[in-house]
Amino acid sequence: MHIIEKKIQNLRDELRAHNYNYYVLDNATISDYDFDVKLKTLQELEAKHPEFFDANSPTQRVGGTITKNFETTVHEHRMYSLDNSYSKDDLEDWEMRIKKLVDGDIQYTCELKYDGASISLTYEYGNLIKAVTRGDGFQGDNVTANIKTIKSVPLQLKGDYPPKFDIRGEIVLPFEGFNKMNEERIEIGEEPYRNPRNTASGSLKLQDSAEVAKRPLECLLYNLTGTNLGVKTQFESLDKARQWGFKVPEAAKLAHSIDEVLGFIEYWDVHRHNLPYETDGVVVKVNNLQQQEELGYTAKAPRWAMAYKFKAEQVSTKLNSITYQVGRTGAITPVANLEPVELAGTTVKRASLHNADQIKKLDIRVGDEVYVEKGGEIIPKILGVDLSKRPANSEPTIYLTQCPECETELVRQEGEAQHYCPNYNGCKPQIIGRIQHFISRKAMDIDGLGGETVALLVNEGLITNYSDLYELTKAQIIPLERMAEKSADNLIQGIEQSKNIPFERVMFALGIRYVGETVAKKLVKHYKNIDAIIAASQEELINVDEIGIKIAESVTAFFASEENIDTINRLKGFGVQLEMSAEALSGQTELLKGDIVVVSGVFHSVSRTELKKIIEDNGGKVSSSISSKTSYIVAGDNMGPSKKEKADKLSIPLISENEFLQKVD
Ligand code: AMP
Ligand code: ZN
């Protein structure tokens, strides 16, 4: 084999194994940094040697394919639905029916019913060939490019897999990733996603696979389909699938009777709340595949399987009032204030009503008895109204027309679900929210100033805009509640220090709608200074990588406001960073500013010379000998014993290659 080809193969194998360990076994075997370095090496080799292209190389997982129309694809084996059961009686009835149709004892495989979007994956000779959504069960959409970005979907199998087969599973979005995505959305002023399931299925139909790659989706498999698979039971097939590299949750269990099935259901009805993803029931399957075949299918579902739906945790309670909250971007959110009630182990007092359409759809009114459910969402949701209990004098809800805080007439843009208060510069919660965003950790990170103090400063009339922060004096602050000499000093000092925060974070801190951390970085990298961004037209902005029309419109609208320009000019006057620093312009950072670093030993992912360059490029100083001034030592293998002794004596910390590289990542 060609030496380069061999090298490419080895890198692919290595990355594949790390992916498998991390995403299927939940067991990391490499640092993120080292993984990225190897991936980059592979990408470069593949770019130089297109003759060794492989559609299933780990490099293909980063996405980038744009699909305008997903191709309709016929399922070779139909994707059926499942019959539902809700009680012990239902399950016993089912057993009676199937016992009449097959001979011998029946055993069952019990699995969890994952709540996501179903998918059918086709493998040939160990390679993923296509991935198709369920669609109507007969045909679905070919979403292969998007599915390839999901790291728990093996692109190449291991072990003794059959030459051709389909495998079915569910694409889910675990709670943790879902909540993180929502935090980021809220940060840029977008409405949060409603629930993990819809977000997962929406993700499969995104046109840009690079976007899908960013979403923390997972694929949980549950069914092998095909001929000559070399397995005799469902339980065995799950185990085989695991051996071939698929993620098959370990919860699956073999049951020898319906009583044992019920034991499984009882256990998971409680413990499912500890799972990282959403489940809505249990699927019980006849274990023996021969018996499955004898039982066959009805028009819509297999006779050999039965879903048992968990009872959603629901209660009913009285709606006492509807109030409206104004967010940092002026978005109005209606909130249901409920008569407190116990639900899934917590006391629920409030629920989100989302928007005007939702209220209209449910025809929800103050005084109604409403059904509340706790699903994957952070805040409980209202499912509907118990009309039998509606008071005779009840009146339809009329949605608010004026801002509850500043009485400005609300607006609702076409195509948007939310109402907005347009009084950008005069509406208190917007002013406070914007300044709170400005000082937050990922933005200006102002020490000594918290969200409550911001509210206090605004309410006392000391500031109305984040640029006012830079004119605050100690004399103004000390009289405030809970402020003392020391805390006032800290506050002033924290504000002063924020003048060193680099431009990209200032750009994010400005709080322009849709400009999150990533977009802020892109804009800064492209335009270098604020004046260039202000001068950019919508068309020019759209030409910047990853900036779409929505962002471009929002940016130009922000700078079209005279008040905002005035704020920017004031920030400039106070010395806030509104252009890239000389270091940043030359590709350098200040991450290691002030660090005096000694490098010693042998390194793996970078050479010593590279390591020294990294230190200097990030503002650190390289020193050849250890002294009391040394900040730390980057220690590789075989560090000299005398150096080690000296470091110990002076208590200079040793850090590993990986730890160091993470510092500058
Ligand atoms: P339903 O949509 O209610 O008819 O339920 C059928 C769907 O449940 C299937 O299309 C699968 O996507 C999904 N499902 C989730 N977990 C499992 C599982 N362990 N076995 C079979 N189907 C499952
Ligand atoms: Zn307002």
In ligand 1, which atom is closest to the CA atom of 252? 19
Which residue has the CA at smallest separation from atom 12 of ligand 1?
118
Angle at 198 between CA 194 and CA 199, to 5 degrees: 80
CA 268/CA 271 separation, integer angstroms? 5
SS3 112: strand
pLDDT at residue 346 is higher than 80: no
CB 170 less than 6 A from any atom of ligand 1: yes
CB 308 less than 6 A from any atom of ligand 1: no
Model pLDDT, residue 375: 62
Model pLDDT, residue 33: 84
Please list, in sequence order, all residues whose beta carbon lies within 8 angstroms of the beta carbon of residue 208, skipping any fewer than 6 positions away: 63, 64, 65, 66
Report, as an integer, the average pLDDT of 23-27: 91
Q: Is residue 509 domain-shared with residue 487, that is, in the same domain? A: no
pLDDT at residue 345 is higher than 80: no
CA 174/CA 150 separation, integer angstroms? 13
If one counts the domains in the chain, the total is: 6
The answer to whether the beta carbons of residues 248 and 221 sit under 8 Å apart is yes
Model pLDDT, residue 248: 97
Ligand 1 center to 285 CA (angstroms): 11
Domain with residue 32: its CATH number is 1.10.287.610
- Nearest CA among 81, 77, 76, 89 for reference residue 298: 81
pLDDT at residue 55 is higher than 80: yes
Positions annotated as catalytic residues are 113
> pTM score, two decimals?
0.70
- Nearest CA among 9, 16, 12, 36 for reference residue 153: 16
The answer to whether the beta carbons of residues 622 and 597 sit under 8 Å apart is yes
Model pLDDT, residue 227: 86
Of the ranges 81-90, 283-292, 610-619, which is most confident?
Answer: 283-292
pLDDT at residue 189 is higher than 80: no
pLDDT tens, position by position, 196-250: 999 999 999 999 999 999 999 999 999 999 988 999 999 999 999 999 999 999 9
Report, as an integer, the average pLDDT of 498-518: 93
In ligand 1, which atom is closest to the CA atom of 113? 16
Residue 31 lies in a domain: yes
CB 200 less than 6 A from any atom of ligand 1: no
CB 82 less than 6 A from any atom of ligand 1: yes
Which residue has the CA at smallest separation from atom 7 of ligand 1?
81
More confident site: 228 or 430: 430
Model pLDDT, residue 427: 95
Report, as an integer, the average pLDDT of 164-193: 89
More confident site: 268 or 352: 268
Amino acid at 323: T
What DSSP string runs through 576-641?
A: ---B--HHHHTT---TTTT-EEEEESB-SSS-HHHHHHHHHHTT-EEESS--TT--EEEE-BT--H
Question: Which sign does the torsion angle of CA 202, 203, 209, 214 carry?
Answer: positive
Model pLDDT, residue 228: 86
Residue 456 lies in a domain: yes
pLDDT band at 661 (very low <50, low <70, confident <90, very high): confident
Of the ranges 209-218, 304-313, 344-353, 475-484, which is most confident?
Answer: 209-218
Ligand 1 center to 136 CA (angstroms): 14
Ligand 1 center to 118 CA (angstroms): 7
Ligand 1 center to 277 CA (angstroms): 15
More confident site: 582 or 85: 85
Domain range for residue 640? 596-663
The answer to whether the beta carbons of residues 166 and 226 sit under 8 Å apart is yes
Report, as an integer, the average pLDDT of 504-522: 92
The answer to whether the beta carbons of residues 238 and 252 sit under 8 Å apart is yes
CA 568/CA 97 separation, integer angstroms? 74
Model pLDDT, residue 126: 96
Strand partners, 14: none
Model pLDDT, residue 80: 95
Amino acid at 324: Y
The answer to whether the beta carbons of residues 242 and 140 sit under 8 Å apart is no
Domain with residue 477: its CATH number is 1.10.150.20
Q: Is residue 496 domain-shared with residue 535, that is, in the same domain? A: no
In ligand 1, which atom is closest to the CA atom of 115? 15
Please list, in sequence order, all residues whose beta carbon lies within 8 angstroms of the beta carbon of residue 289, skipping any fewer than 6 positions away: 231, 232, 233, 234, 237
End residue of a domain, out of 536, 556, 586: 586
Domain with residue 202: its CATH number is 3.30.470.30
CB 114 less than 6 A from any atom of ligand 1: yes
CB 309 less than 6 A from any atom of ligand 1: no
Domain with residue 321: its CATH number is 2.40.50.140
pLDDT tens, position by position, 580-616: 988 778 777 778 888 899 998 888 878 888 888 889 8
Residue 77 lies in a domain: no
- Nearest CA among 97, 115, 114 for reference residue 106: 97
pLDDT band at 435 (very low <50, low <70, confident <90, very high): very high
Which residue has the CA at smallest separation from atom 2 of ligand 1?
81
The answer to whether the beta carbons of residues 46 and 8 sit under 8 Å apart is yes
Q: Is residue 570 domain-shared with residue 601, that is, in the same domain? A: no
Beta strands, E only, 144-299: 164-172, 218-225, 253-255, 279-286
pLDDT band at 154 (very low <50, low <70, confident <90, very high): very high
Structure tokens, 624: 């050849």
pLDDT at residue 626 is higher than 80: yes
Residue 591 lies in a domain: no
Q: Is residue 31 domain-shared with residue 179, that is, in the same domain? A: no
The answer to whether the beta carbons of residues 365 and 390 sit under 8 Å apart is yes
Amino acid at 282: V
Q: Is residue 180 domain-shared with residue 322, that is, in the same domain? A: no
Q: Is residue 104 domain-shared with residue 195, that is, in the same domain? A: yes
Ligand 1 center to 416 CA (angstroms): 33
Q: Is residue 134 domain-shared with residue 16, that is, in the same domain? A: no
Model pLDDT, residue 383: 87
Mean pLDDT, the chain, rounded, equals 92
CB 111 less than 6 A from any atom of ligand 1: yes
Ligand 1 center to 143 CA (angstroms): 19
The ligand minimizing its distance to the Cα of 330 is: 2
Residue 301 burial (CB < 10 Å; 0-12/13-18/19+)? middle
- Nearest CA among 508, 505, 477 for reference residue 491: 477
Strand partners, 221: 169
In ligand 1, which atom is closest to the CA atom of 118? 12
CA 335/CA 432 separation, integer angstroms? 20
Substitution site in 108, 222, 247 for ligand 1 pocket (most atoms within 8 Å of beta carbon): 222
pLDDT band at 568 (very low <50, low <70, confident <90, very high): very high
Domain with residue 613: its CATH number is 3.40.50.10190
CA 455/CA 473 separation, integer angstroms? 17
CB 307 less than 6 A from any atom of ligand 1: yes
Residue 524 lies in a domain: yes
End residue of a domain, out of 309, 340, 363: 309
End residue of a domain, out of 280, 309, 338: 309
Structure tokens, 405: 């805080």
Q: Is residue 19 domain-shared with residue 106, that is, in the same domain? A: no
Which segment of 164-168, 290-294, 587-591 scores lowest on mean pLDDT?
A: 587-591
pLDDT at residue 376 is higher than 60: no
105: phi > 0 → left, psi -120 to 50 → alpha, else beta; which? beta
Q: Is residue 521 domain-shared with residue 433, that is, in the same domain? A: no
Residue 236 lies in a domain: yes
Residue 320 lies in a domain: yes
CA 474/CA 493 separation, integer angstroms? 10
Percent of the chain with pLDDT over 70: 99
Which residue has the CA at smallest separation from atom 18 of ligand 1?
113
Report, as an integer, the average pLDDT of 525-554: 93
CB 268 less than 6 A from any atom of ligand 1: no
Structure tokens, 621: 């100083």
Residue 42 lies in a domain: yes
pLDDT band at 31 (very low <50, low <70, confident <90, very high): confident
Residues 119-134: b if buried by 16+ CB within 10 A, e if exposed: bbbbbeebebebbbbb
Q: Is residue 263 domain-shared with residue 140, that is, in the same domain? A: yes
CA 218/CA 147 separation, integer angstroms? 10
In ligand 1, which atom is closest to the CA atom of 301? 4
CA 276/CA 50 separation, integer angstroms? 40
Q: Is residue 479 domain-shared with residue 544, that is, in the same domain? A: no
Residue with tokens 């200079």, as numbered in its chain: 652
CA 298/CA 589 separation, integer angstroms? 65
Q: Is residue 482 domain-shared with residue 526, that is, in the same domain? A: no
pLDDT tens, position by position, 248-267: 999 999 999 999 999 999 99
The ligand minimizing its distance to the Cα of 308 is: 1
Ligand 2 center to 187 CA (angstroms): 19
